[in-house]
């Protein structure tokens, strides 16, 4: 048994194709972008080697840290929102009537591209004839805010569509994980007189904890490098109030012609993400993985 399951050739055969692919298409670009970070380069003319200057500047760049802070906030909210998605998934995966159709409906928004989602939420947030403000006015709120124009609000306003956009993704994963739990375990608990809450909390949750941990990492990593809706809906504005690391990096590299600096920021983004991920993995590690 052990011999078969540790055959080096088989391991290589199974792992190497994927590893090779990501080495060539992800790691080489990654190393190159770290290398570009050592250059003064507008992406057009000649490169000039300037050592760690870009990295040092980045560390002292208040705008970068502000955008990093925004990214961290997004990561925090994304992680917290997992609780809601988990709750919805537990309800959907239990045997209630209509759960099949509800599940499909719940996942529809995730099929839409960011272009469509951005347009939808731009319409919702429009300060004069958007849906949100129409409702607020109808409720008697005087002078509802211009959601995407107020520096103090814009970041939180734009988090809503981002979190909403990914809801389906996590619900889908949790749902599959919950459905993977053998029915007999739940049945046994029910016969023992456990309430649905107890079953969810004491049996289902521990059993899918491995998957939950994975989604925590995915939520954090996904948030720290998030770009799409920010870029389309606010462009990071007004004046940087909704800037995140990836949009800042993009702006530097593509709009400010500061490709060397942008690359350095991109590389720092990765390092920061890596550190956070390692910390989170350590914090959520348990001695043994559960099997059933």
Scanning residues 52 to 81, which ones bind another protein (CB under 8 A)? none
Quick one: which of 160, 194, 203, 218 contacts another protein (CB under 8 A)?
A: 218
* Residue placing its CB nearer to another protein in the complex, 60 or 129: 129
Quick one: which of 30, 136, 189, 205 contacts another protein (CB under 8 A)?
A: 30
Q: Mask of contacts with another protein, 146-165, x by CB under 8 A?
A: xxxxxx--x-----------
Q: Which residues contact 78 (CB under 8 A, 6 or more apart)?
A: 162, 163, 166, 219, 220, 222, 223
Quick one: which of 137, 179, 279, 286 contacts another protein (CB under 8 A)?
A: 179
Nearest Cα to 89, choosing from 212, 224, 193, 210? 212
SS3 percent helix, strand, coil of the chain, rounded to 5, is 70, 0, 25
DSSP SS3 for 39: strand
Are 168 and 85 in contact by the 8 Å Cβ rule? The answer is no
Q: Mask of contacts with another protein, 99-138, x by CB under 8 A?
A: -x-xxxxxxxxxxxxxxxx-xx-xxxxxxxx-x--x----
- Stretch in the footprint of another protein (CB under 8 A) among 48-56, 75-83, 198-206, 209-217: 209-217
State yes or no: residue 292 binds another protein (CB under 8 A): yes
State yes or no: residue 259 binds another protein (CB under 8 A): yes
* Residue placing its CB nearer to another protein in the complex, 91 or 136: 91
* Residue placing its CB nearer to another protein in the complex, 76 or 120: 120
Quick one: which of 33, 67, 89, 223 contacts another protein (CB under 8 A)?
A: 33
Give the nearest distance from C-beta 50 to another protein in angstroms: 15
- The encoded tokens of residue 20 equal 């090779």
State how far the Cα of 13 lies from the Cα of 61, in Å rounded to an integer.
46
Quick one: which of 17, 51, 138, 140 contacts another protein (CB under 8 A)?
A: 17
CA angle at 115 for the pair 134 and 127, rounded to the nearest 5° = 20
Are 181 and 208 in contact by the 8 Å Cβ rule? The answer is yes
Residues β-bridged to residue 49: 39
Quick one: which of 38, 75, 163, 173 contacts another protein (CB under 8 A)?
A: 173
Quick one: which of 66, 69, 79, 225 contacts another protein (CB under 8 A)?
A: 225
Give the nearest distance from C-beta 78 to another protein in angstroms: 14
Structural element, H or E, at residue 32: helix 28-36
State how far the Cα of 157 lies from the Cα of 122, in Å rounded to an integer.
11
């Amino acid at each position: 048994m052990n011999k078969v399951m540790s055959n080096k050739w088989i391991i290589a055969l199974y792992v190497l194709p994927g590893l090779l692919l990501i080495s060539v298409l992800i790691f080489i670009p990654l190393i190159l972008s770290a290398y570009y970070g050592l250059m003064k380069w507008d992406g057009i003319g000649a490169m000039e080697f300037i050592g760690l200057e870009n990295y040092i500047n980045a560390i002292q760049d208040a705008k970068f840290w502000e955008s990093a802070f925004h990214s961290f906030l997004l990561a925090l909210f994304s992680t917290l929102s997992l609780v809601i998605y988990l709750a919805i998934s537990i309800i959907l995966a239990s045997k209630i009537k209509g759960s099949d159709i509800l599940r499909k409906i719940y996942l529809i928004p995730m099929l839409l591209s960011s272009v469509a989602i951005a347009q939808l939420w731009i319409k919702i947030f429009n300060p004069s004839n958007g849906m949100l403000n129409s409702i607020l006015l109808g409720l008697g709120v005087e002078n509802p805010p211009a959601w995407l124009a107020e520096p103090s609000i814009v970041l939180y306003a734009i988090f809503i569509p981002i979190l909403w956009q990914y809801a389906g993704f996590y619900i889908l994963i949790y749902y599959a994980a919950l459905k993977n739990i053998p029915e007999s375990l739940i049945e046994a608990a029910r016969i023992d007189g456990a309430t649905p809450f107890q079953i969810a909390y004491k049996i289902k949750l521990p059993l899918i904890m491995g998957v939950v941990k994975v989604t925590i990492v995915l939520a954090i990593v996904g948030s720290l490098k998030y770009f799409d809706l920010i870029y389309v809906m606010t462009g990071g504005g007004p004046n940087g109030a909704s800037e995140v690391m990836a949009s800042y990096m993009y702006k530097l590299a593509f709009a400010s012609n500061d490709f060397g600096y942008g690359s350095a920021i991109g590389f720092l983004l990765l390092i920061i993400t890596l550190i956070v991920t390692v910390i989170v993995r350590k914090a959520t590690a348990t001695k043994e993985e559960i099997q059933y």
